[in-house]
Amino acid sequence: MPSDATPDPYADPLAFGQRMQILRTRRGLTRDQLGGLVGRTGDWVKKVETGRQQAPRLEDALQIAEALRVRDLSELTGHPGHLPLFTGPGHARLPAVKAAVDALPFTVTGEAPPGEHLAARLARAWSARHQAPNHREIIGTLLPELIRDAQLSVRQADTAADRRAAHAALAEVYSLSQFFIAYQPDAALLWRVAERGLIAAQESEDPHALGVAAWLAAQAHRDSGPAHFDAADAVNLGTLRHLEPLLPDASHEVTAIIGALTFEAGYTAARRKETGVAWRYWDKANEIAKRLPADYYHPVTSFSRAIMGAHAVTVAVELHAGGESVRQAAAADAFTIQSRPRRARHRIEEARGYQLDGQPDVALATLEKAHEAAPETIRYNGYAKMIILEETEAKSPARRQRAAELAVKLGILAA
């Protein structure tokens, strides 16, 4: 290795701080930028890196790993063992949701509500998920009772048909739970819910419930890092093989979940930098979207004709194609996306594209639109935080000020 090359943090046993410095340098972050991402100062980062500060606690290590886009905690600690690291700030409602999930079903008491009543509550919860700017707060409030009542419905079902319907509702509750738990600091809870959702969906024998559960499980695998891409494909493509024969006569809901799963396969391919495969799956998903009415919008995945433009931006960004990302962003109309958090996520993907294309001012303006659409979405998004903190050290005073103001809104810099 040349003497001026960046050392390999895995070649020899290194201290936590040394690994952190190497990985930070590879990401192109200053100490102040990394400190801002994890709620610390640049001086604190320097002390950890130089060994004057002891290695941080696990909670802080997880935040550092997320900021550095490290997929495996052993890259920082040097110890074997994988942890999914897409974590964000723990929501105040998380302990109550966790308690409801952790409660043994046979200890849950009470009378199950009528199936129609539970379905109506779920519909209202999904509406809040897509329309409320503080959707995590609302969903976190609703979930504990929804989990309890859905479990009671399964236990108290009188007939096989009622039991299958109850399992479908329970699978839907677990799907809603995953939207709340994702990117929060409890990976084990997320996996517990994902697995229970898949089991409940299989027990329901409902193709739509199974498709939604598999869609979420595939995302959980993919977001755990490259070592889990094969597992994401196994869940995703296996479910597609099961559902695709239903497509000619499928309902809008089943058609949409098949389309959503098809795009997810392309998303994973884009993460692998498999350009041709990624765009082929996008094309296939786009053809499925054309089967749906122009105004149809899937209540869970947001799959629709309108979403395909946003999906194209995502593929281009994951392929690190800045010019193509901007071209796709110009072609996509974010205002046709009905879901506020999905619209915010699209704006974040657009911002990533503009940043890749060397247009940081447009990237910041786009992130401001994401914040307007759904503040809780951007607050949990590591890519958005990375762009903002990078621009707080821009040469342009106006851009630094704009980025700092947005960082304060997100709570990643003090006012």
pLDDT at 234: 97
**Among 331, 304, 238, 222, CA closest to 271:** 222
pLDDT per residue as tens, the chain (415 positions) = 343 333 343 343 467 888 888 888 887 888 988 888 777 899 999 999 888 888 777 557 767 877 787 756 677 777 654 333 345 567 899 999 999 999 987 887 889 999 999 999 999 999 999 988 888 899 999 999 999 999 999 999 999 999 999 999 999 999 999 999 988 888 889 999 999 999 999 999 999 999 999 999 999 998 877 778 899 999 999 999 999 999 999 999 999 999 999 999 999 999 888 999 999 999 999 999 999 999 999 999 999 999 999 999 999 999 988 899 999 998 887 668 888 999 999 999 999 999 889 999 999 999 999 999 999 888 888 788 878 877 887 889 999 999 999 988 887 765 5
Amino acid occupying residue 197: G
Joined together, the tokens standing for residue 253 give 């809901």
Q: Tell me which residue has tokens 């105040």.
A: 92
Angstrom distance (rounded) from CA 28 to CA 14:
20
**Among 353, 336, 415, CA closest to 387:** 353
Joined together, the tokens standing for residue 173 give 């509750």
pLDDT at 54: 80
Q: Do residues 87 and 97 lie in contact, with contact meaning Cβ atoms separated by under 8 Å?
A: no
Joined together, the tokens standing for residue 56 give 């941080």
pLDDT at 228: 86
Which CATH topology does 1-85 take? 434 Repressor (Amino-terminal Domain) (1.10.260)
Angstrom distance (rounded) from CA 341 to CA 226:
26
Q: Where are the alpha helices (DSSP H) in 272-394?
A: 275-289, 307-318, 322-331, 340-356, 360-373, 375-379, 382-391
Phi and psi at 33, nearest 5°, equal -65, -45
**Among 30, 19, 23, CA closest to 55:** 19
pLDDT at 362: 95
pLDDT at 154: 95
- DSSP one-letter code for 123: H
Q: Tell me which residue has tokens 């399964």.
A: 154
Q: Where are the alpha helices (DSSP H) in 132-251?
A: 135-155, 160-181, 187-204, 207-222, 229-243
Q: Tell me which residue has tokens 């009470």.
A: 110
**Among 187, 190, 219, CA closest to 81:** 187
pLDDT at 356: 86
Amino acid occupying residue 148: R
